[in-house]
Amino acid sequence: MNNKGERTRWQRLWSWLKRPLALGIPIGVFLMVMGAASFQGMMVASNQNAFCFSCHLKMDTIVQEYKASSHYGDGETIPATCSDCHVPHPFVDKMIVKTIALKDVYHMMVGTITEENFEEHRPAMAENVWKDFKKNDSANCRECHQGENFDLAKQPQRARLNHEKIAARGETCIDCHQGLTHKRIVIR
């Protein structure tokens, strides 16, 4: 206190900071911002091919099949990443898929799925992916293959005719295009 009995600016600040709410709000905001930034960083990192390859590179065929496909990019087209095809774009659906994918990480870590037995598990895993594609009408395919990127009038005659028939039958992309990026799997 100065000689007039008033508290100094520092004393007022210190008494304000001693109140829990005064400290709690800025700390809470800081933690929320840091949490949101960390969450966003994890979303971006887990949508990169490098993240997918960290496990699937051990299943060498998956990565090699993808790299040999048109979806990997030929220098003239924009490449599709693993997440472009395998992770839904709407936020809630994306969070559901990423949460469910944790079981795959678990099975990799405990050794249920290994490099040696991957091909045994592959048909069941492929079938699950195809069911998801059918259930959502191949929504991830349509994210890229629509509008000017997929003008049916500019397609070859065979493609135009087939797509018209498929639309009439209520089929979706995955009904014909299995094995487009990864090898065609035969379900027994």
DSSP H helix total and E strand total for the chain:
10, 0
Residue 71 assigned to a binding site: no
Q: For residue 86, say whether it is annotated as part of any ligand binding site.
A: yes
Give the angle subtended at the CA of 39 by the CAs of 145 and 136, to the nearest 5°: 30
Q: How far apart are CA 63 and CA 77, in angstroms?
A: 19
85 is in an annotated binding site: yes
Residue 173, annotated as binding a ligand: yes
- 45 neighbors 83 (Cβ within 8 angstroms): no
> 104 among the known binding-site residues?
yes
Check whether 84 is labelled as a binding-site residue.
Answer: no
Q: Is 145 annotated as a binding residue?
A: yes
Residues whose CB is less than 8 angstroms from the CB of residue 179 and which lie 6 or more positions away in sequence, other chains included: 185
Which residues define the annotated binding site for a menaquinol? Answer: 82, 104
Residues of each annotated binding site for heme: 52, 55, 85-86, 104, 141, 144-145, 173, 176-177, 182
Residue ranges at the known binding site: 52, 55, 82, 85-86, 104, 141, 144-145, 173, 176-177, 182
